[in-house]
Amino acid sequence: MMDDNLDYLKDKNILITGASKGIGRCLAMNLSMHKANVILLAKNEDLLDSLYDEIKEKYDTNPMIIRCDLSELEENKAQEIANVISKNYKCLDALINNAGILKKMSSIHDYDLNSWEKVVNVNLTSAFLISKYLLPLLMDSELPRIIFTSSGVANKGKAYWGAYSVTKAGTKNLSEILNDELSSIPNFKVFNFNPKETRTEMRALAYPAENPSLVKIPDELMHYYFWMLSEKSTSSSKIHIDFGDEI
């Protein structure tokens, strides 16, 4: 499953949303280790600066920070993101729509509109806008990829998961629509990846009584992302990948 030769990542330009923490931060460090240029998008400036400095200190790559609160993203800002990337890189090789918030665990009856709208904006609307405005930059890549970080509740709604479950079902459908619309573009692949139980702040919020030492760390997910970014995945007919699947 694991490809020891990751030279294909060298000089790839990869945007990661939600890059400052959890799976996004782990992706940023691992991709940088293999000489990819990561574009770090998140809202926490201090965490972004710290991550950027660590990457510059450890690896000879060309990272970039884009500070953005995805709950407030609109079309003009999405276009600005595309513009700044195009000014700094010749193309975009991959977009990893990883950002997500849970906000609260609540019955629908007790779910407030403010929380609902924020979760929908961060998890679904921003993924639509960023995918839409970055598609022209991805078209210039030899091996373009869009990857959505998904969840098991995308497939079946569960009590108290509220807007999070709804948005993950929405991004699952969005990935399928994009995959269908882009199927005629050579080498363009769209993936929806479910990492399953992973040790993150969001997981701790959803399962406060769980012992985190019994949950896998984000590093254990990386070979799936590496495969999705590789030429090997181009011939795959799979669009939905779950942790534990044979690839």
- Which of 155, 247, 233 lies closest to 190 in space, CA to CA? 233
Nearest 10 degrees: Cα torsion 19, 8, 128, 85: 70
Active site (annotated) includes residue 164: yes
Active-site position among 89, 164, 224, 225 = 164
Q: What positions carry a catalytic annotation?
A: 164
